[in-house]
């Protein structure tokens, strides 16, 4: 690891029960590794025959099952052994995966045969991902999650500019303080966050990314066109998420109004 130029890529395979977010956070933020190693992306493989069973498994004490967490964090989701199931069962699995993670790219294969060009050089965690994210956000499907689903994807768009310090408050309340609740009083838990935002007085589009408590706001190579309307689009993957509340809170950030902030942020009712 200390010799430069020795490795082109490092593929780290975790166990079937591992939480990829914890491993990803280490590589994403480690300054010592940062000069030579960067986190390219997270890939999750789903078994066609047993994937739906694993994704719908209920864990005790309200815990998120491992399969849903791994799919939620993935940039690439590979559905393997597609030849072992019917098209009807495959469609059910696709729908379930897409409702958990509406942003990840789905690849289907047999015997784990995937072209390396589809799983390498993803740049899912750096500023270059902002270019591909723009196209993904434009074609993001509308998700209608089931009521019994623990992890869902929500997305919203808000026009205008945001102050960077206010954007940080919005993200930190979600990821750090964890004091944002939905209409039922349940704590919103964000597992993955990604989006393109317009920061006041900055000509470039900004990409915001988050995994658990870690997040980053970075300039992309793309500048806003002078005659284009500036807008903000966010995608959040997690549990107990309420799109309307999240959008209202973000609007409060953009319009710099304090009135709406206190509605669902309560310092004396911090989530466990």
Domain boundary among the residues 118, 143, 175 is at 118
Residues 6+ apart with CB under 8 A from 47: 54, 80, 81
pLDDT of residue 143: 54
211 and 111: one domain? no
Asked if residues 215 and 171 have their Cβ atoms less than 8 Å apart, the reply is yes
Say if residue 184 is in the same domain as residue 233: yes
Q: State the DSSP string of 221-264.
A: EEEPPTTSPPEEEEEEEEES--HHHHHHHHHHHHHT-STTHHHH
Q: How many domains, in total, are found in the chain?
A: 2
pLDDT tens per residue, range 137-192: 665 655 544 434 578 999 999 999 988 899 999 999 899 988 889 988 888 999 99
Pick the last residue of a domain from 118, 143, 172.
118
What is the crossing angle of helices 20-29 and 66-73, to 10°? 30
| 10 — pLDDT class (breaks 50, 70, 90) | confident
For residues 98 and 259, the model is more confident at 98
Question: Is residue 187 in some structural domain?
Answer: yes
Give the pLDDT confidence of 217-236 residue by residue, as tens digits: 999 988 998 888 899 999 99
60, 169: one domain: no
Maximum mean pLDDT: which of 12-16, 87-91, 184-188, 250-254: 87-91
What b/e sequence results for 60-89 when a residue is b if at least 16 CB atoms lie within 10 Å of its CB, and e otherwise?
A: eeeebebbbbbbbbbbbbbbbbbeebeeee
Same domain flag for 108 and 153: no
What pLDDT, on the 0 to 100 scale, is given for residue 15? 79
Distances from the Cα of 203 to the Cαs of 131, 207, 224, 250, in angstroms? 15, 13, 6, 21
CATH of the domain at 41: 3.40.50.300
173 assigned to some structural domain? yes
66 shares a domain with 149: no
121-131 pLDDT tens trace: 988 887 666 55
Of 198, 171, 192, nearest to 239 (Cα)? 192
Question: Percent of the chain at pLDDT above 90?
Answer: 48
Residue 196 lies in a domain: yes
Nearest CA to 208 among 170, 159, 255, 256? Answer: 170
**Do 215 and 143 sit in the same domain of this protein?**
yes
- Residue 3 lies inside a defined structural domain of this protein: no
pLDDT of residue 31: 44
- C-alpha to C-alpha distance for 108 and 77, rounded to whole angstroms: 8
Q: What local confidence, expressed as pLDDT, does residue 1 receive?
A: 53
Q: Same structural domain for residues 104 and 50?
A: yes
When pLDDT is averaged across residues 8-33 and rounded to a whole number, the result is 77
Q: Residue 192 sits in a domain of what CATH number?
A: 3.30.1220.10
Consecutive H or E run containing 66:
helix 66-73
What is the tens place of the pLDDT at every residue in 131-151? Answer: 567 666 665 655 544 434 578
pLDDT tens, position by position, 190-205:
999 999 999 988 999 9
Which residue, of 88, 118, 148, is where some domain finishes?
118
Residue 272 lies in a domain: no
Same domain, 52 and 111: yes
Q: What pLDDT is attached to residue 270?
A: 57
> Terminus-to-terminus CA distance in the chain, angstroms?
39
Range of the domain at 68: 20-118
Asked if the model's pLDDT at residue 33 lies above 60, the reply is: no
Q: What is the mean pLDDT of the chain?
A: 83
Gap between the Cα atoms of 153 and 125, Å rounded: 19
- Judgement on whether residues 188 and 241 belong to the same structural domain of the protein: yes
Between 41 and 32, the more confident residue is 41
149 within some domain:
yes
Among left, alpha and beta (phi > 0; psi -120 to 50; other), residue 242 is beta
Q: Do 253 and 145 reside in the same domain of the chain?
A: yes
Is pLDDT at 94 greater than 80 in this prediction?
A: yes
Q: Are residues 63 and 109 in the same domain?
A: yes
Looking at the fold, whether 49 and 88 belong to one and the same domain comes out as yes
Cβ contact 205:223 at 8 Å: yes
For strands 214-223 and 105-108, give the pairing.
unpaired
pLDDT of 131 reads: 58
Evaluate if residue 9 carries a pLDDT over 90. no
Taking the C-alpha atoms of residue 219 and residue 126, their distance in angstroms, rounded to an integer, is 9
Q: Is residue 258 part of a domain?
A: yes
Domain annotation covers residue 124: no
Percent of the chain with pLDDT over 70: 80
């Amino acid at each position: 690891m200390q010799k430069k130029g020795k490795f082109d890529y490092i593929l780290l395979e975790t166990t079937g029960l591992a939480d990829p977010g914890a491993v990803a956070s280490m590589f994403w933020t480690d300054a010592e590794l940062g000069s030579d190693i960067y986190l390219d992306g997270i890939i999750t493989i789903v078994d066609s025959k047993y994937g739906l069973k694993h994704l719908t498994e209920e864990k005790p004490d309200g815990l998120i099952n491992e399969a849903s967490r791994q799919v939620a964090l993935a940039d690439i989701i590979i559905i393997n052994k597609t030849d072992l199931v019917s098209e009807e069962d495959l469609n059910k699995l696709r729908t379930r995966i897409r409702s958990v993670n509406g942003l990840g790219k789905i690849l289907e294969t047999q015997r784990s045969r995937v072209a390396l060009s589809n799983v390498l050089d993803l740049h899912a965690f750096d500023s270059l991902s902002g270019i591909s994210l723009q196209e993904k956000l434009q074609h993001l499907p509308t998700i209608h999650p089931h009521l019994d689903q623990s992890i869902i994807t929500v997305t919203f768009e808000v026009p205008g500019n945001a102050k960077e310090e206010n954007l940080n408050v919005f993200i930190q309340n979600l990821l750090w303080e964890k004091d944002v609740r939905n209409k039922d009083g349940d704590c919103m838990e964000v597992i993955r966050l990604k989006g393109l935002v317009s920061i006041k007085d900055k000509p470039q589009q900004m990409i915001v990314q988050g995994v658990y408590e870690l997040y980053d706001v970075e300039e992309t190579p793309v500048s806003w066109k002078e005659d284009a309307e500036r807008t903000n689009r966010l995608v959040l993957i997690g549990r107990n998420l309420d799109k309307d509340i999240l959008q209202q809170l973000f609007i409060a950030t953009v319009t710099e109004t304090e009135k709406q902030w206190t509605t669902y942020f309560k310092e004396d009712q911090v989530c466990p």
